[in-house]
Amino acid sequence: MDVLLGDGIFNADGEMWRKQRKTASFEFASKNLRDYSTVVFREYSLKLSSILSKACKAGRFVDMQELFMRMTLDSICKVGFGVEIGTLSADLPENSFAQAFDAANIIVTLRFIDPLWRLKKFFHVGSEALLVQSMKLVDDFTYSVIRRRKAEIVQARAGGKQEKGEQIKHDILSRFIELGEAGDDGGGFGDDKSLRDVVLNFVIAGRDTTATTLSWFTYMAMTHPDVAEKLRRELTAFEAERAREEGVALVGGGDGDASFAARVAQFAGLLSYDGLGKLVYLHACVTETLRLYPAVPQDPKGILEDDVLPDGTKVRAGGMVTYVPYSMGRMEYNWGPDAASFRPERWINDDGAFRNASPFKFTAFQAGPRICLGKDSAYLQMKMALAILFRFYRFELVENHPVKYRMMTILSMAHGLKVRVSRLV
């Protein structure tokens, strides 16, 4: 996976990984990045709402998985690079970076099951030839953004727009550029190749995983109407309470496009970071979706040295140990006799508070030293989008549309998620 991940945090180990982990964990904990992400996620959730509203009016079905993929790619490129790539524009344009990124991701994953990939690479044929072309497009785009951002920082300083120690922008790339300039304490991100690896790893982490979870959530809500109804009641109650606290009058209902858009925008404005934290049932629904449909359904670890596991199992260097969150989420041993059932209430205490589970039991975000840095950011984006969508839209699966797994690293849907959408007042 080196061709795509390079020395980024997913592929790094030892001291190189420690430096990246320490620096990245500090950045993800920063209020500036959290606030910037909240604004970006709200912006793209509203763009998605606009597309769905037009689909309602035209009476056409949409592929929600594709739309979620576009939304999360645009969002992570804005948060990661600070650039607008526009795949979620109204006309849903094709984007060369997005296409190349997808192709590279698929081909690299297929290397795990294709015994001939090294031969194809040597002779530069088939999927490996396409991989070279795709990575050139990905790298050209990424390096051009890095050079442009560095030039903007230099220009801002020269023009006196940035005081010493003050950030020019809050995207991840800008922060790592500035940290790289700080020397050894910056984690070794001074050269363009290191910056490219850092940002592409974040794009991979924040795109497909979030989009597939949003897709499975939507499917679960459609197949469990009682859950969808309970969620809508929580969202409408939240809307009324937040409007009362802020002293604002809710925009009147109506079928007009402008009136509906204004109502959606007003509701989105009430969805602050702290406000989203009050939506306990929504959080439980997302977590229950991840229990049954973890974005990374199995997770292999390479064995560097001979070792003995705590239960006495001997493992040999060069081998592999894999744990399977998909299976763990369905084990009655872990979750009780209703383990196979979609029941968000299992995550809520008697007093109405969210009930956490050990990350070694609920393994969707890994556990231990490599537990997912972007967990809170992922929940933030998913809850922002889902609160808006399920407050104002109802989804119905297109008749005879097959919902099946696609056998990839990420647990996506093989044929997308084609639905009909209708507005809710």
Strand partners, 395: 421
Cα–Cα distance for residue pair 35/41, rounded to 1 Å: 10
What is the three-class DSSP state of 405? strand
Asked whether the beta carbons of 328 and 334 are under 8 A apart, the reply is yes
Domains within the chain, CATH numbers bracketed: 2-423 (1.10.630.10)
What is the three-class DSSP state of 106? helix
Cα–Cα distance for residue pair 245/391, rounded to 1 Å: 19
Asked whether the beta carbons of 206 and 377 are under 8 A apart, the reply is yes
pLDDT of residue 187: 52
User: Any long-range contacts for 118-126 (C-beta under 8 Å, 24+ apart)?
Assistant: none
Asked whether the beta carbons of 358 and 334 are under 8 A apart, the reply is no
Q: Which amino acid is at 9?
A: I
Average pLDDT over the chain, rounded to an integer = 91
Pair of tokens at residue 12: 């790094």
pLDDT of residue 24: 84
Asked whether the beta carbons of 414 and 406 are under 8 A apart, the reply is yes
**pTM given for the model:** 0.92
- pLDDT tens-digit map of 286-342: 999 999 999 999 988 889 999 999 999 999 999 999 999 999 999 999 999 999 999
pLDDT of residue 249: 87
pLDDT band at residue 253 under the 50/70/90 scheme: low
Please compute the mean of the pLDDT values over residues 98-114 and round it to a whole number: 90
pLDDT at 162 over 70: no
Of the listed ranges 166-170, 265-269, 336-340, 408-412, the least confidently predicted one is 166-170
Strand partners, 422: 394
What is the β-pairing status of strands 62-63 and 418-423?
antiparallel
**Phi, then psi, of 197 in degrees rounded to 5:** -65, -45
pLDDT of residue 254: 61
| Other C-beta atoms lying within 10 Å of the C-beta of residue 255 | 9
Asked whether the beta carbons of 100 and 135 are under 8 A apart, the reply is yes
Asked whether the beta carbons of 150 and 190 are under 8 A apart, the reply is no
User: Which residues 6+ apart lie within 8 Å of 104 measured at CB?
Assistant: 3, 4, 131, 134, 135, 138
pLDDT at 186 over 70: no
The share of the chain scoring above pLDDT 70, in percent, equals: 95
Residue identified by tokens 């320490």 is 22
User: Which residues 6+ apart lie within 8 Å of 392 measured at CB?
Assistant: 49, 260, 263, 264, 267, 423, 424
Count, residues in the chain: 425
- pLDDT tens-digit map of 368-415: 999 999 999 999 999 999 999 999 999 999 999 999 998 678 899 999
pLDDT band at residue 209 under the 50/70/90 scheme: very high
Is the dihedral angle over the CA atoms 353, 358, 362, 364 positive or is it negative?
positive
pLDDT at 136 over 80: yes
Pair of tokens at residue 70: 């576009």
Cα–Cα distance for residue pair 292/364, rounded to 1 Å: 9
Pair of tokens at residue 129: 């030839």
Asked whether the beta carbons of 365 and 371 are under 8 A apart, the reply is yes
Please compute the mean of the pLDDT values over residues 42-66 and round it to a whole number: 96
pLDDT of residue 157: 82
pLDDT at 262 over 70: yes
pLDDT of residue 231: 98
| Other C-beta atoms lying within 10 Å of the C-beta of residue 311 | 5
Strand partners, 418: 63
The share of the chain scoring above pLDDT 90, in percent, equals: 71
Asked whether the beta carbons of 108 and 208 are under 8 A apart, the reply is no
Cα–Cα distance for residue pair 137/100, rounded to 1 Å: 6
